[in-house]
A and B are shown apart, each in its own frame.
Chain A
Amino acid sequence: MSAAPEHAPTMAQATLADRVGPYMPVLLVPLLALAGFLAIMNPASWLTLTVSGLAMGMMIFIMASGLTLVFGLMDVINFGHGAFVSVGAFVGITVLMALGQMTAAPSLLLNLGAVLLAVIGAILATGAMGWAFEKVIVAPVYGHHLKQILVTMGGLIVVEQLIIVLWGPEEIYFNRPEALKGAVTFAGAAIEKYRLVAVVVGLAVFAAMRWVLRRTKIGLIVRAGVENGEMVEALGYRLKLVFVGVFIAGSALAGLGGVMWALYQEVITAHMGNHAMILIFIVVIIGGLGSVEGCFIGALLVGLLQNYIAFIEPKAALISNIALMVAILMWRPMGMIPVVKAK
């Protein structure tokens, strides 16, 4: 046998773009914040808008995170996801209003206790509803995208109408608990307390999700299932069961997001979930279907951009998120952090 020709592999130095590429999505958030700073040129306004944008982003993330996993894991497009946002908001706010004495009391502990009970109520209601929704509406249409879109949209309409039957057609206005009203002043900028709370809760949810996905066996199964469900089953895991669990958890998260969104707006309507769906879909798509990290970054970008643009050029705010989606898809057609391969 003749010897292989002598040669050394040539390794070209990776270009800057190649080396920075994987971190680009993460860098986009500070870059956008910096761009906002340069455009606004007023540190106090910028800080207020940034916190507000982050808070909005965190809430969108909480609402959207379940949807991205549900799609990634089972290739299910759930247009009814917004129903959980609405139901979470109505159940949570009903609990909160029933606890009027706790929310009106000038005690932080009682206030937060009331919010916690509202959140628990919303999570239990939407979790149970998610279980039923999966069984009745989603399970019969696995593998049929068109049917999924039609039937889950139908489910959303039914839920909206049920909310109107139960709570009436009027918008319901309410007040935030005392402790969450008002603002703190920092470096000359007024920052609403509730927005800070939303940022903290959003970060906690993201950290918890990451921990579950990275450090537990269930998380491993979910991540592997998003990539190649068939192989996960061939290893002996019942992916269907895991999917139902993820669907319930995702619904409960949407419910939590609904309560937080409601507390932010201080008004609830039966259609609020449907309206939120537009932002939720934008975030899920630009993040990369199936990616929790992408969803998180996408949500922050959407939140920040919307707030900056609304300040700089209010008329452009409506199209800013669509423009963001177009720009990101032109850059990365599969979303910022693509996980699900085209099927």
Chain B
Amino acid sequence: MSDAILTLDGVYTNIAQYHILQGVDLEVPRGAVTMLLGRNGVGKTTTLRSIIGHWRAHQGCILFDGEDITKLPTPAIARLGLGFVPEDMGIFADLTVEENMQLAAVSGPINSARLDWIFTAFPPLKTFWKSDAGTLSGGQKQMLSIARAMVEERKLYLIDEPTKGLAPAIISTMAKALKDLKQQGSSVLLVEQNFAVAKALGDSANVMDDGRMIWSGEMAELGRDAALQERLMGLSMEAH
């Protein structure tokens, strides 16, 4: 694909003595939702952390919007227009919801139209605006984590398992917000274990195993083919 917002080319990442990523190739097209799938422990989170620079790729090259970010420090990578929602949500529990959001608005005060959109997507954030983020429920924390990434327009959102451990009602809120994001034409790289959500949102899909990309293609194609799912991820995802 020629118009990729993000390209990983043969990325190797080691954590201590463990070789977690072993030559990951990935293309994230502009203006679409790209799924990163695979069983637990195959390197999905490490891939996202290598992109944002929390872990360093020892080999290979990461291009973001035409720029080589492989060796850039994390803050510089983020400032190029990457919004990151980590697996542990990365909420600042001792700060209020408002302060969490203010901090995420790196380039100045929060845009009020954008904030209205966020409040519509995640009403609890408005209710608990002045509360300490640490007092929120798990689902509300996840909302805050995503809202924080959305508070300013980013070129690419990296979102790690936004529905993990959430109640079904909250999962649909989350899926709706991500759909909004997609409709605005944002580029998203999404790690997701909930296959229904992945099928509803994903344009293309990439499946990892043992630190490598083992399959790339259309999400719809993967969604239709239970045998393929079983071969790539060990079991039919519909079973979830």
Chain A residues with CB under 8 Å of chain B are: 217, 220-221, 223-224, 227-228, 230-239, 339
Contact = CB atoms under 8 A, between A and B. Distances in A.
B99 A220 contact: yes
A228 B92 contact: yes
Contacts, number: 57
Contacts of A221: 103
Interface of B: 52, 54, 73-75, 78-79, 84, 86, 90, 92-95, 99-100, 102-104, 106, 148
B102 A237 contact: no
Contact of B78 (A223, A227, A234): A234
Contacts of A230: 54, 74, 90
B92 A223 contact: yes
A224 B99 CA distance: 9
19 contacts: A220-B99, A223-B94, A224-B95, A227-B95, A228-B92, A230-B74, A231-B90, A233-B73, A233-B75, A234-B52, A234-B54, A234-B74, A234-B90, A235-B103, A236-B75, A236-B79, A238-B75, A239-B75, A339-B94
Given A220-B102, A224-B103, A234 B84 contact: yes
Given A220-B99, A230-B54, A235 B104 contact: yes
Given A231-B86, A234-B52, 20 more contacts: A217-B102, A220-B95, A220-B99, A223-B99, A224-B95, A224-B99, A224-B100, A224-B103, A228-B90, A232-B103, A233-B74, A233-B75, A233-B78, A234-B78, A235-B78, A235-B84, A236-B79, A238-B73, A238-B75, A239-B75
Contacts of A234: 52, 54, 74, 78, 84, 86, 90
Please report whether the interface of chain A is mostly helix, strand, loop or mixed according to DSSP: helix
B76 to A, nearest CB: 8
A239 B104 CA distance: 14
Contacts of A223: 92, 94-95, 99
Nearest to B81: A236
Nearest to A234: B84
B106 A235 contact: yes
A337 to B, nearest CB: 10
A236 B78 contact: yes
A231 B74 CA distance: 10
Contacts of B79: 236
Contacts of B100: 224
B158 to A, nearest CB: 9
Contacts of A227: 92-95
Contacts of B106: 235-237
Contacts of B75: 233, 236-239
Contacts of B92: 223-224, 227-228, 231
A126 B145 CA distance: 40
A223 to B, nearest CB: 6
A232 B92 CA distance: 9
Pick from A228, A238, A339 the residue with the most CB of B within 10 Å: A228
In the A-B complex, the 4 residue pairs with the smallest Cβ-Cβ separation, listed nearest first, are A231-B90, A236-B78, A233-B74, A236-B79
Pick from A221, A236, A238 the residue with the most CB of B within 10 Å: A236
A233 B99 CA distance: 16
Nearest to A232: B103
B183 to A, nearest CB: 25
A63 B121 CA distance: 47
A217 B100 CA distance: 11
A234 B95 CA distance: 17
